[in-house]
A and B are shown apart, each in its own frame.
Chain A
């Protein structure tokens, strides 16, 4: 059977099947087919596209016989973006210059103008080669105000123009600011770039602040999820109202390709616009938290201190935890901070300080688990040679386990066995001395 015939049969079967499932009526559609046929399909598309561009207040730029829609908006530095203003970015950037510690969000050596607040919309969420980016937006903050540019792909055959203009325009920028851009947006740019690389400027080597990672560190305990929209609403207090949900974007774009009406995608473009503005606001917000001087609550301060600890910026971590101990009224946070301080000092081999912080927890009756007693016992045994005290704390740990835990016998012995060993050893040592 020829392929053509096979295909005919296949189509028929599909039609029969779908006819059973749904009763689609084609009659409701306007029948101005004859009128349209004067022009070729492509001519009609282009004509309608020009109208759509007008309605979207976008310019059409060309390259290589291809087109891209570019929409450029100017926002005053004093206009409110959530709780902040664009102008505050300059203070933030100069503050970063004064600080000595390294940090993933540090803008040291960067100017505000060099940041590229960046977000995309794609035709699908998977990471394969067949997914396209149909909308790129980026904002740049300078003394003249915020310039937010959006590049819209008018059809799959226009990627060369799309990337040519985007890459030409962002050449002077150095550093991306995104939300999940490390795992999502930027790899997709790289993937699509493969297809047009011969004809467009090179991909610049950007630095990258991914605000998703920072947001997760600070707020994962208080938020159910750390999507940008959630952070924006719960943390920055921005209410968008009437926003197009992101997962609708591919569908609307496919509709647009069939008939380019501005109304189909203007919601998506607006969504992207707002996302980018939120990035500016969120970066300011996160920076302030990192500075740790104002507007930071105990939980945040604690998470930031832990972040420094993770980054091995021990000085900075110690400073933050100590500050927290002085300022926090929450005994739980206090205990956690003491614990981390103990660990930090122990790592620095400052055993007296380590002991002090561990004992703080015990003295204030905030012991959360037996490991605090064990740490104290270890320090006393190995660095202070105080066998009696070490024995006392080992026994405290054992008592603690017995009192606090209703656990399976296997788990219990897993915890108790090393302690019994320790106890025995200490007893032997104690006997020898006596």
Chain B
């Protein structure tokens, strides 16, 4: 009979594994508890006692008292620190004190909102007071919508619903807006980039409506650990914030292990694939019935790992104990997986960062990351999935050959001592702003001199009036168009149009199995692409780009596909620039036009990852205007090292910048793109562009422009930190083909740049 090994045994075995690069143990931390504040209603205290809570963590009590004083707060709360009480307690107290008070809860996803409703209602039931809390989302049936509008004390929703269903219909929500006392924004850190910039504008609209109805709500925000919680909360809400960052919750003992796969090709400094190592590590834990979560960076990796891990089990029922979780699955499928994880029916889950959020999946003991997640903040959030309520937790980060991963593995202090990144948004991106000025004018006319947030918007309104969207009369701008503006504006992406994935394996029961945004579809759903869904392979038979439908059929092959994207870039306008090193290097910031065209795809065999074929992709070019930062090298510099060598330098630098830049401004790797050009048409110089992958830009490249010197320093230490001798695919993305001394040339070049500051 097979004997199951305990986690202690497995840890002992792991300790002797030669691939462990670093073992960091985070000691257990005890709770800092305080007794219930005097002001707290007795019924609330009793309800808590019934649920086994006899004291509060210090940060919960602080939140309660500050909100009671009428202060806006932002509480930094790691996973499992009891953050819900930070807002539920002051809100319930407020409603007990004054029955007419109302609260609005915003969660980034529907699933989180559902979780919260159950938790809130349990507490309310315990108190035996008639406080009504409801979720309001696309699934809310028509009959109870009216009841929620009139009588819901706590309305739990998401920013998208607020944007498209609540604010534009504010005349039906008078009792909410007249009495709105609290606005709760959970998972504040998720409101970043384009999405965050949109949400900041939705909140400006919310405040405008509140003002009209005479209410001035207190904002209660919670966030995962980021560098700038207060600043971010203040920009997002336009309110002064009190920061609560002393966490009083206890934490279990955690083993944080850096695992570096062995080198398999010394010449190229190529390591064994992280995916394969993760497969083996995960198998070890899963075989011993230890609940494990595996994070992978892309949807393809998730599906790949799932198919590997499911081979553990042969029976159909057994296979379903290991599941994948990612965006693009239908909500019902996701709910089932969450439930299975909580109940323990599902033993292992492979996920993209979709499970970084506070979705309640209960306790997991082990967390394995396939590669460094890209940011300190993200890493800690993924790590938080392990050991929520367990005795001892294990977190394994398996490094890939990426330069960033290798740097982290070799410099653990860099990671463990570094503060998490800052979150950035740009609510004043003119494209985003104009969208919301339209929505806002639809909701209430703008008067000359009115502000939107802290912005003067007369110019924007005048422009929209010239475009016949608004009508100016008697000092006011009115919405004057038969369209409903909110329907055409999606908070989540540049384009509303998603591509629907249709499974036509069985002609008699054709069904939709998922959807994907347009830009991803270009590189994942082209004809002949292998699309993976819950570990099953599908081949795309037809991509109807006009109708936004991809028709797929289930298939079984031993390869997956990967696409190449050709990008053309033109500078439209230079906004700022600076010469450095005499005239040798120039950094600049401005507007660019980017045209992207997928060209061909490769077929890559499982396990060996070798290229076994390719084919063309026929899709139209997509164009967008955005902002970019770039660095150009004068011809003098190029000639010094020789033109041919310099081409390699550009490639190498772009390779490193790609990861370094997104790390630097804390954004998804997909939010920024890097393009090298040997001779950029605008100045005839060798140039590397870094641009925001959203029309109009969201301020990422601007930050990069200002911090270019620091960024290049980071790049230098990344390359220098690599243990290879003369540059390898891991650090500079190049192998044997590169000139012999390229590593030194690059480092010298970068150091020269630096010394001139």
Contact digits for B429-448, partner A, Cβ 8 Å, 1 yes 0 no: 11101100000011111000
The residue in chain A whose Cβ has the minimal distance to the Cβ of B433 is: A3
Q: Are B460 and A7 in touch, CB under 8 angstroms? A: yes
- CB of B573 within 8 A of chain A? yes
Binds B, one of A51-59, A122-130, A237-245: A122-130
Instruction: Confirm or deny: B480 has a beta carbon within 8 angstroms of a beta carbon on chain A.
Output: yes
Q: Which of B168, B482, B573 has the most CB of A within 10 A?
A: B482
B171 at the interface (CB under 8 A from A): yes
A3-B455 in contact (CB<8A) = yes
Give residues of chain A (244-261) contacting chain B, Cβ–Cβ below 8 Å. 250-251, 254, 257-258
Cross-chain contact B482 with A124 (CB below 8 angstroms)? yes
Q: Mark A111-144, 1 if CB is under 8 A from B, else 0.
A: 0000000000001111111101000000000000
A145 interfacial by beta-carbon distance below 8 Å: no
Spot the interface stretch: A9-17, A312-320, A363-371: A9-17
Q: Mark B162-178, 1 if CB is under 8 A from A, else 0.
A: 00000011111010000
A21 to chain B, nearest CB (A): 14
* Residue ID in chain B nearest A10 by CB atoms: B430
- CB contact list, B476-515 vs A, under 8 A: 476, 478-486
Q: Is A194 an interface residue (CB 8 A)?
A: yes
Q: Indicate whether A126 sits within 8 Å of B484 (C-beta atoms), given known contacts A7-B430, A7-B460, A9-B573.
A: yes
Chain A interface helix/strand/loop/mixed: helix
A188 CB to closest chain B CB, in angstroms? 10
B475 closest partner in A (C-beta): A157
Please give, as numbers and ranges, the residues of chain A lying within 8 Å of B170 by CB-CB distance: 129
Contact among B428, B478, B486 for A156, CB-based, below 8 A: B478
Binds A, one of B133-141, B466-474, B716-724: B466-474
Nearest-CB residue, chain B, relative to A128: B168
Chain A residues whose CB sits within 8 angstroms of the CB of B468 once the complex forms: 254, 258
Check A155 against B473 for contact (C-beta < 8 Å). yes
B170, B171, B433, B444 interface centre (most CB from chain A within 10 Å)? B171
Closest Cβ neighbor of B164 among chain A residues: A128
- Cα of A130 to Cα of B443 in the assembled complex, Å: 5
**CB of B571 to closest CB in A, whole Å:** 13
A327 within 8 A of B: no
The one of B174, B430, B459 that contacts A194, using a Cβ cutoff of 8 Å:
B174
Known interface pairs A6-B430, A127-B169, A129-B170; A250-B478 also in contact (CB < 8 Å): no
Residues of B within 8 Å of A254, CB to CB, are 468, 471, 480-482
Bound Cα distance A327, B468 (Å): 61
Q: Which single residue of chain B is at the shortest CB-CB distance from A129?
A: B171
Q: Roughly how many angstroms separate A6 CA and B426 CA in the complex, as a whole number? A: 13
Collect the chain B residues with CB atoms within 8 Å of residue A7's CB. Answer: 430, 459-460, 463
Q: For the complex, what is the distance from the CA of A194 to the CA of B443, rounded to whole Å? A: 12
Choose one: B443, B455, B482; the contact of A129 (CB below 8 Å).
B443
Contacting pair A128 B442 (CB below 8 A): yes
Asked if residues A157 and B482 are in contact (CB atoms below 8 Å), the reply is no
B591 contacts chain A at the CB level, 8 A cutoff: yes
The yes or no answer to B625 lying at the interface (CB within 8 A) is: yes
Residue of B nearest to A159 (CB): B478
Q: Is B575 an interface residue (CB 8 A)?
A: yes
Contact assessment for B434 and A42 in the assembled complex, using a CB-CB cutoff below 8 Å:
no
**Most chain B beta-carbon contacts within 10 A, residue among A3, A129, A155, A258:** A129
A422 to B362 Cα, complex, angstroms? 51
Q: Which B residues between 161 and 205 are near A, CB-CB below 8 angstroms?
A: 168-172, 174
**B430 and A123 contacting across the interface, CB-CB below 8 Å:** no
Taking a contact as CB atoms closer than 8 A, the residue among A3, A251, A257 that contacts B430 in the complex is A3
Interface members, chain B 409-431 (any A CB < 8 Å): 428-431
With A128-B484, A155-B473, A194-B171 as contacts: A3 and B428 at CB distance below 8 Å: yes
Which of B174, B482, B591 touches A251 (beta carbons < 8 Å)?
A: B482
Confirm or deny: A191 has a beta carbon within 8 angstroms of a beta carbon on chain B. yes
> Closest residue to B467 on the A side, CB-wise?
A14
Q: How far, in angstroms, from A157 to B475 measured CA to CA in the complex?
A: 9
Q: What CA separation (Å) do A89 and B174 show in the bound complex?
A: 40
Chain B residues with CB below 8 A from A24, complex form: none
**B434 A10 Cβ-Cβ under 8 A:** yes
Chain A residue numbers with a CB within 8 Å of B480 are 123, 156, 254, 257
Task: Fill in one digit per residue for A158-176: 1 if any B CB lies within 8 Å of its CB, else 0.
Answer: 0000000000000000000
Q: Is the CB of A9 within 8 A of B482?
A: no
Answer yes or no: A37 CB below 8 A from chain B CBs: no
Q: Within 8 Å of chain B (Cβ to Cβ): is A1?
A: yes
Does residue A4 face the partner (Cβ distance < 8 Å to B)?
yes
* Bound-complex Cα distance A123 to B480 (A): 7
Whole-angstrom distance from the CB of A358 to the nearest CB of chain B? 36
- The answer on a CB contact under 8 Å between B483 and A257 is no
| CB of A69 to closest CB in B, whole Å | 15
* Assembly CA distance A251 to B460 (angstroms): 23
Is B442's CB under 8 angstroms from A1's CB? no
A156–B481 touching, CB < 8 Å: no
B contact residues around A156 at 8 Å (CB): 445, 471, 473, 476, 478, 480
What is the minimal beta-carbon distance from A264 to any residue of chain B, in angstroms?
14
The distance from the CB of A384 to the nearest CB of chain B, in whole angstroms, is 43
- The answer to whether B459 and A3 touch across the interface, beta carbons within 8 angstroms, is yes
Q: Could you say which residues of chain A place their CB within 8 Å of the CB of B441?
A: 130
With both chains docked as a complex, state the minimum distance between the C-beta of B162 and any C-beta of chain A, in angstroms. Answer: 13
Alpha-carbon distance A10/B428, docked complex (angstroms):
13
Bound complex: CA of A157 vs CA of B431, how far in Å?
Answer: 28
**A124-B471 in contact (CB<8A):** no
A350 to chain B, nearest CB (A): 35
Report the separation of the CA atoms of residues A245 and B575 in the bound assembly, to the nearest whole angstrom. Answer: 50
Q: From residue A12, how far is it (CB to closest CB) to chain B in Å? A: 9
- Do B573 and A123 have beta carbons less than 8 Å apart? no
What is the bound-complex CA distance between A250 and B471, given in angstroms?
A: 13
B254 to chain A minimum Cβ distance, whole angstroms, is: 45
Is there an interface contact between B430 and A128, defined as CB atoms closer than 8 Å? Answer: no
On whether A129 and B442 interact (CB within 8 A), knowing A13-B625, A124-B482, A251-B482, the answer reads yes
Among residues of A, the one whose C-beta sits closest to the C-beta of B443 is: A129
In the complex, A155→B663 CA distance in Å?
53
Question: Which A residues touch B485, using CB under 8 A?
Answer: 130
In Å, the complex CA distance between A251 and B483 comes to: 11
Cα-based distance from A4 to B433 in the complex (angstroms): 12
Measured CA separation A190–B146 after assembly (Å): 15
Contact pattern, A 185-208, Cβ under 8 Å of B = 1, otherwise 0: 000001110110000000000000
Task: Tell me, rounded to whole Å, the shortest Cβ–Cβ distance linking B4 to chain A.
Answer: 45
A3, A13, A157: which contacts B474 (Cβ < 8 A)? A157
A247 (CB) vs chain B CBs: closest residue:
B482
Evaluate contact between B169 and A10: CB separation under 8 angstroms: no
Name the A residues within 8 Å of B484 (CB-CB): 124, 126, 128, 130
* Residues of chain B with a CB closer than 8 A to A125's CB: 482
Contacts of B546-588 to chain A: CB distance below 8 A: 573, 575
B442 contacts A130, C-beta separation under 8 Å: yes
A-B contact pairs, 17 of them (CB 8 A): A3-B455, A6-B429, A7-B430, A9-B573, A9-B591, A42-B473, A128-B486, A129-B169, A129-B171, A129-B443, A130-B168, A130-B479, A156-B445, A156-B480, A157-B474, A194-B174, A254-B468
Q: What 7 pairs between A and B have smallest CB-CB spacing?
A: A130-B442, A156-B478, A128-B168, A124-B482, A250-B482, A6-B430, A126-B484
- Apart from A13-B625, A157-B474, what 12 extra A-B contacts exist at CB < 8 Å? A3-B460, A6-B428, A6-B430, A7-B430, A9-B591, A10-B430, A124-B481, A127-B169, A129-B442, A191-B171, A191-B172, A194-B171
